[in-house]
Amino acid sequence: MIPPAFDYTRPTSLDEAVRTLADAGEEAKVLAGGQSLLPLLRLRLAFPELVVDVGRIPGLRGVREDGDMLAIGALTTHHDVVHDPLVRRHAGLLAQATETVADPAVRHRGTLGGSLAHADPAGDLPAVVLALDAELVAVGPGGRRTIPARDFFTDYLQTTLAPDELLVEVRVPKREGWGFRYEKFHRVAQSWAMVGVAALVRRDDGHIAEARIGLTNMGATPLRASASEEALAGAGDAEAVARAAREAAEGTRPSRDASASPEYRAHLARVLTKRAVLAATGTG
Amino acid sequence: MTHISVTVDGTAYEDEVEPRLLLVHYLRDRLGLTGTPIGCDTSNCGTCTVELDGASVKSCTVLAVQADGCEVTTVQGLARDGEWTPLQRAFHERHALQCGYCTPGMIMAARDLLRENPHPGSDEVRKALEGNLCRCTGYQNIVRAVLAAAEEASASERHSAQEVTA
Amino acid sequence: MTDQAVEPEVGRARLRKEDARLITGQTNWTDNISVTGLLHLAFLRSPMAHARIERVDVSPALERPGVVAAFTGRDLAEGLGSLPCGWPVTEDMVLPDHPPLALDEVRHAGDPVAVVVARDRYAAADALEAIEVDYEPLPPVLDLEEALAEGAPLVHADKGTNRAYVWPLRTGEDYESVRQRADVVIRRRYRQQRLIPNAMEPRAVAVAPLAASGEYTMYSTTQIPHILRIMLSVVTGVPEHKLRVIAPDVGGGFGSKLQVYGEEAVALAIARKLGRPVKWTESRSEGYLATHHGRGMIQDIELAATREGRLLGLKVDLLADMGAYLMLVTPGIPILGAFMYPAIYKMDAYEFNCTGVFTTRTPTDAYRGAGRPEATYAIERAMDELAAEVGLDPVEVRRRNWIRHEEFPYTTIAGLTYDSGDYEAATGKALALFGYDDLRAEQRERDERGDAVRLGIGVSTYTEMCGLAPSRVLRDLRYSAGGWEAASIRMLPTGKVEVVTGTSPHGQGHVTSWSQIASEVLGVPFEDIEVLHGDTQAAPQGMDTYGSRSLVVGGSAVHRAAEKVVEKARRVAAHLLEASEDDLEFKGGVFSVKGSPEARRTIQEVAFETFTSHDVPEGMEPTLNSEYLLDPENFSYPHGTHLCAVEVDTETGQTRIRSYVCVDDVGRVVNPMIVEGQVHGGLAQGIAQALYEEAVYDAEGNLVSGTMADYLVPSAADLPEFVTDRTETPAASNPLGVKGVGEAGTIASTPAVVNAVVDALRPLGVHDVRMPCTPERVWEAVRSARPGQKETPA
């Protein structure tokens, strides 16, 4: 199918981009890699008057260390995230989950910032940044602000980003020594996660000291499995993990669609949480 | 209309295009490069896969304006002086195509894999082709062809290494 | 020249002649067609499953930039008849009108209501949004049983019923009395979900008119250029001899391009009206609504058997979803299956009833296998249930019932005469390759261990009928065409050969295989042969490609035509060598006189002599050409045994295929490489039905799985490595001994996979999982099962 007509601009600086977005208001759409926006345009599910292509704004791509954080430019492609040595070393969960996004060609174009700003709860990365306790840095006419991942996703395809704000960086705490696992459940390799579980586990003396669990596609936004996280503290064996995982669907509101019922999604969240945590502790 | 300059299969083009024009339509309808076909409207089938600055992309999910200043390689730009690439030869020799509609995309996706992983196992090949659908072959001969091309490439590497040391 | 020991052409894994263009992008897909002044069509389609059209106003679209014209159904009604149904299966079949553009009512989501003609495809797409349509919603008709109930809303109100036809078949003894004496009766309901064929090339059509002479050239993504030409001339009134249909490179069909589509008729009508060339290309999601679907049946199957597991009788009641209209062979698809439910088994009674039902969904029609996969699925699933009921191994229950190899030719209860086969051989080979006994041992061990990932083993011993069919049989089935195929051969003055075939390949490699057949008979090098096809001007006669008929009928016709060339060449060679025809030997393309090998003429030399015609036998026509129209004597009956091992994760419901082995008997093999490829592709589609694919509609009749992101066509990452092998029992009914291979993999694999899934779960009390066996359905089946339970409620 064929996208509807739109005007197009390609700002060469962040300032210009923000000014353009501020001028255009609600009628503009930000284009980064385009891997979420273009399918929407082609199916004529979006009709922006102006597309602001931020893809070539300098300085928004790449990964650097910043103290005990990793700073990942919003325009860093999925492909580059997967292969980046810093990400692999300090945020292995993000690399592992990003490798399950779509397919290699899409990962060449799609960007981390684009995926997060799109805020599809079935996307893999929102739950991952939630589990990682990442911070998202946005720039708008009023300057920069840092938004904790837990405050960023507000509803289905909705974030706290204002129409004239641009996501520029994702800051991820380094989590050395944490075990991790992204368990994605989908029917064919290419399809969206029916449910995904992103688990981070810190172990101490043979027990789980702390667990952080993000859930993909268990509600209108990515969610934390807080009840399981609490129950996992102190878990010392597979049995205890399994018990804690039974609470993974507490407080979630999974949807019903052609691929799964809410009950089944809840069940999957429990099974996958168990598996992800066991794998993250190296016992799975 | 937006002005773009793009190099496709070694030829430089300057054009005025509508911003919404998809790269694949630019290739097919404007440049007449119909070797890259279209198979879906949701970025799932991969038949339109080309290389943009050396990395595989789905040309139905890239705007022509996004390719401004870039280099595009399509299946039509692979053979040199009628000489097929090892992947093209392997697809022929292993019967990796039937109707051939997915073939350009498969070859471009396989090139991308072999560039990053010159010695893949069959599971890695299958994983790398997850974004390219074929309805004829059941994929088995495509996987065989990619493995064969990888094998051929490493054999010729070994061969030239021997020549150097000899 | 000396005789060389050359490998026989037939049976050789020749690399394909088709590939060079396809791997370099020098292709000729219909959407590539571009001519000066080409206009683009776009169709506005109903967003509703069922509605009355109160008003359509295309005039706002005309205001849009680049728009040349726009038409409603009414605007084009004159000179555009109803789309044809070529298979009225019963005398009293209900045949509704099927206007190419809807007139008063839309009857499925995607039914076209208007068309825009514009200077480029972008302008055409934009203009659709300006068209105004008022719909008065009507109730959708979706459930097959409810559709037949008294007072149900009607798809075609003027017909007074949603029942398209009832087609019965009763053979052998009276089923009811056979059932009375049975020890065991197995009754099951199976559902064939709707499938979307998904040929990788979306449909397209382009028409170039020549106004001065009233001639039209149509390029179409069709499997059937010849049938299309005839039918479109009837629908549009363009005289048949003024219409040339070309099927250029066609990117797969699987039955979905065995159709006469409304867009083809409309494109022709608009080209005639405007005198301008036009083109239309569907998008994938548009095609999901507009290109016919496959399957879509509810199957009630009943087996009556002895407690030793011997079949006595079989009863099948089908409800077949026709969709909104009867298209080219819609009603006949389930009827093709009627003959296949008895499969390879012997029994005393058979009763079959099929009811065709209209619904407000996209019409169904042929999809790879067409009726035969459905039949094979039901019988092979039910045979496993019988095995479980009487406590036999599933392979053993089949062995007790199948036709033994010494019993061929064998006339089945359904009235077909199977000419050849060896089920014992294929099964034995498959079991050995699969490691059946070891896998059963592992299965027991894992079951005892209580492994949450359960191993399941599925078998399917199938046969099918290909090469449809002797024309007289088709008459008896009320099919509107014959079953013959045409081939002609031209030996050119320079010794090269043109083979003209009436088959219309779209991925099957006919150019290569037909070259091999001609090369073997003529003794002309493979490379010196070209095959012309898919153009009603270049290949004027033919019945096209579907139903695994091409090699069996079309390839055999090429063989016969080549023999005719050799016969004529022999007369010329005898004349030139001043010898009697009986004294000539013909080998490797050379005629020589027995006993004096120096007296020889190559067939190429003979071709040149017939070209000059300076010195040929008195009264002989010049040139070395021939034509052969072959009407097959019988169907052909490929068969085989497929074995599948799956691992089912009972926690998540996920199924993973661990190994897949098949041994097929497709008769003599022309090109083993191509045959293997056909099997691979067939397996992928059959497995996809078992595990992944389904056209899902919601309660309003919207197609929920409306894009390729929602309809799960499996990728390389989702499918296993297949182990394929063959036995070779030549067919007796054609000169090549071939049986057809295009559909075998699809027919056999679906029940093998589902049998494996059910086998994995049977000890838990699961007796069926509805297709596709999604993780959730498997999980539900496990959750609701009770060990020892005999039946899963449907």
* Residue A8 bridge partners (DSSP): A51
The total number of structural domains that make up chain A: 3
**CB-based contact C453:C650 (threshold 8 Å):** yes
Asked which of A132, A148, A173 is the last residue of a domain, the reply is A173
* B97 and B73, same domain (yes or no): no
- Contacts A–C by Cβ distance under 8 A: 54
* B56 and B104, same domain (yes or no): no
Region C740-753: what's the mean pLDDT?
Answer: 96
Region B161-165: what's the mean pLDDT?
Answer: 64
Where do the H-state alpha helices sit in C206-329?
A: 225-236, 262-274, 284-290
pLDDT (tens digit per residue) in B63-112:
999 999 999 999 999 999 989 999 999 999 999 999 999 999 999 999 99
Asked which of A173, A194, A227 is the last residue of a domain, the reply is A173
* B97 and B49, same domain (yes or no): no
Asked which of B22, B53, B77 is the last residue of a domain, the reply is B77
> What is C338-378 written as a DSSP string?
HTTTTTTB--SEEEEEEEEEE-SSPPB---TTTTHHHHHHH
**Is omega for the bond preceding C772 within 30 degrees of 0, making it cis?**
yes
Instruction: Check residue A284 and give its pLDDT.
Output: 54
Length of chain C: 794
* B73 and B102, same domain (yes or no): no
Q: Using the beta-carbon criterion (under 8 Å), do A53 and B66 form an inter-chain contact?
A: yes
Residue B166 pLDDT > 60, yes or no? no
Instruction: Check residue C200 and give its pLDDT.
Output: 98
pLDDT (tens digit per residue) in A207-246:
999 999 999 999 999 999 999 999 999 999 999 999 999 9
**CB-based contact C278:C117 (threshold 8 Å):** yes
Instruction: Check residue C6 and give its pLDDT.
Output: 67
Where do the H-state alpha helices sit in C697-743?
A: none
* B58 and B114, same domain (yes or no): no
**CB-based contact C340:C415 (threshold 8 Å):** no
Region C221-245: what's the mean pLDDT?
Answer: 98
Where do the H-state alpha helices sit in A64-190?
A: 78-83, 85-90, 92-98, 104-109, 112-118, 124-132, 149-152
Q: Look at residue A2 and tell me if it is in a domain.
A: no
Asked which of A148, A173, A198 is the last residue of a domain, the reply is A173
pLDDT (tens digit per residue) in C438-473:
999 999 999 999 999 999 999 999 999 998 889 999
Instruction: Check residue B157 and give its pLDDT.
Output: 77
Q: What are the extents of the domains in chain C? A: 19-24+484-630, 33-138+200-252+257-290, 294-468+634-784
* B10 and B56, same domain (yes or no): yes
**CB-based contact C497:C524 (threshold 8 Å):** yes
**CB-based contact C146:C701 (threshold 8 Å):** no
φ, ψ of residue C272 to 5 degrees: the values are: -70, -45
Global pTM reads: 0.97
Residue C787 pLDDT > 80, yes or no? no
Residue B106's CATH number: 1.10.150.120
Instruction: Check residue C273 and give its pLDDT.
Output: 97
Determine the Cα–Cα distance for residues C86 and C94; give it in Å rounded to an integer: 13
Mutate to test the interface with C, among A45, A197, A264, A272 (most CBs of C within 10 A): A264
| CATH superfamily of the domain spanning C33-138+200-252+257-290 | Aldehyde oxidase/xanthine dehydrogenase, a/b hammerhead (3.90.1170.50)
Determine the Cα–Cα distance for residues B100 and B78; give it in Å rounded to an integer: 16
Q: Each residue of C136-169: b (16+ CB within 10 Å) or e?
A: eebebbbbbeebeeeeeebbbeeeeebbbbebeb
Q: Is the backbone of residue B93 left (phi > 0), alpha (psi -120 to 50) or beta?
A: alpha
Residue C1 pLDDT > 70, yes or no? no
From residue C681, how far is each of A156, C639, C640 by CA, in Å? 39, 17, 16
* A200 and A108, same domain (yes or no): no
Structure tokens given for C662? 């098949």
Q: What's the pLDDT band for C2 if we cut at 50, 70, 90?
A: very low
ipTM of the modeled complex: 0.96
Q: Look at residue A1 and tell me if it is in a domain.
A: no
Helix (H, G, I), strand (E, B) or coil at A164: coil
Residue A94's CATH number: 3.30.465.10
* A27 and A69, same domain (yes or no): no
Residue A42's CATH number: 3.30.43.10
Helix (H, G, I), strand (E, B) or coil at C648: strand
Residue C791 pLDDT > 90, yes or no? no
Q: Shortest CB distance from C509 goes to which of B92, B98, B129?
A: B98
* B92 and B25, same domain (yes or no): no
Region A253-278: what's the mean pLDDT?
Answer: 96
Topology (CATH level 3) of domain C19-24+484-630: Aldehyde Oxidoreductase; domain 4 (3.30.365)
Region C731-735: what's the mean pLDDT?
Answer: 93
C 685-714 → B contacts, CB under 8 A: 685, 707-709, 713
Mutate to test the interface with A, among C773, C774, C777, C782 (most CBs of A within 10 A): C774
Amino acid of residue B33: L
The position carrying tokens 């977005």 is A21
Provide the strand spans (E) within C650-780: 655-665, 722-726
- Higher-pLDDT residue of B106 and C790 is B106
Asked which of B28, B54, B77 is the last residue of a domain, the reply is B77
Q: Look at residue A14 and tell me if it is in a domain.
A: yes
How far off is chain A from C783, nearest CA to CA, in Å?
11
Residue A184's CATH number: 3.30.390.50
pLDDT (tens digit per residue) in C494-536:
999 999 999 999 999 999 999 999 999 999 999 999 999 999 9
Q: Shortest CB distance from A261 goes to which of C652, C696, C776?
A: C776
A 173-202 → B contacts, CB under 8 A: 189-190
The position carrying tokens 């002599």 is C609
Q: What's the pLDDT band for C201 if we cut at 50, 70, 90?
A: very high
* Cα dihedral across residues B84, B90, B96, B98: positive or negative: positive
φ, ψ of residue C111 to 5 degrees: the values are: -60, 125
Region B123-132: what's the mean pLDDT?
Answer: 98
* B65 and B105, same domain (yes or no): no
Structural domain that includes position B26: 2-77
Share the mean pLDDT of chain A: 96
Using a pLDDT cut of 90, give the percent of chain C over it. Answer: 97
Residue B161 pLDDT > 90, yes or no? no
Structural domain that includes position A33: 7-53
Region A67-75: what's the mean pLDDT?
Answer: 97
- With an 8 Å Cβ cutoff, is A4 touching chain C? yes
Region A83-98: what's the mean pLDDT?
Answer: 97
Region of poorest pLDDT, from A125-129, C113-117, C731-735: C731-735
Sequence-distant (6+) residues with CB within 8 A of C58 are C70, C71, C72, C75, C114, C116, C131
Instruction: Check residue C794 and give its pLDDT.
Output: 43
Asked which of B53, B77, B101 is the last residue of a domain, the reply is B77
* B104 and B133, same domain (yes or no): yes
Where do the H-state alpha helices sit in C310-459?
A: 333-338, 372-390, 394-399, 423-434, 436-449
Region C53-74: what's the mean pLDDT?
Answer: 98
Determine the Cα–Cα distance for residues A129 and A149; give it in Å rounded to an integer: 6
How far off is chain B from C671, nearest CA to CA, in Å?
11
Q: What is the distance between the terminal CA atoms of chain A, rounded to a whole angstrom? A: 45
Residue B163 pLDDT > 90, yes or no? no
In the sheet with C132-137, reading across from the earlier edge strand, the strands are: C105-106, C51-57, C132-137
Q: Which helix (H) or strand (E) holds A55?
A: none
Q: What's the pLDDT band for C616 if we cut at 50, 70, 90?
A: very high
Share the mean pLDDT of chain C: 96
C478 CB neighbour count, 10 Å cutoff: 17
Residue B162 pLDDT > 80, yes or no? no
From residue C762, how far is each of B92, C248, C337, C414, C781 by CA, in Å? 44, 50, 28, 32, 10
* B149 and B104, same domain (yes or no): yes
Instruction: Check residue C47 and give its pLDDT.
Output: 97
Q: What's the pLDDT band for C211 if we cut at 50, 70, 90?
A: confident
Topology (CATH level 3) of domain C294-468+634-784: Aldehyde Oxidoreductase; domain 4 (3.30.365)
Residue A122 pLDDT > 60, yes or no? yes
Residue C387 pLDDT > 80, yes or no? yes
The total number of structural domains that make up chain B: 2
CATH topology of C19-24+484-630 equal to that of C33-138+200-252+257-290? no
Instruction: Check residue C793 and give its pLDDT.
Output: 46
Name the interface residues of B facing A (CB cutoff 8 Å).
2, 18-20, 22, 41-44, 46, 49, 52, 55-58, 60-63, 65-66, 109, 112-113, 127-128, 130-132
* A44 and A72, same domain (yes or no): no
Determine the Cα–Cα distance for residues C309 and C314; give it in Å rounded to an integer: 13
Instruction: Check residue A1 and give its pLDDT.
Output: 82
Region of poorest pLDDT, from C261-270, C360-369, C470-479: C470-479
* B61 and B97, same domain (yes or no): no
C 112-141 → B contacts, CB under 8 A: 120-122
Region C609-635: what's the mean pLDDT?
Answer: 95
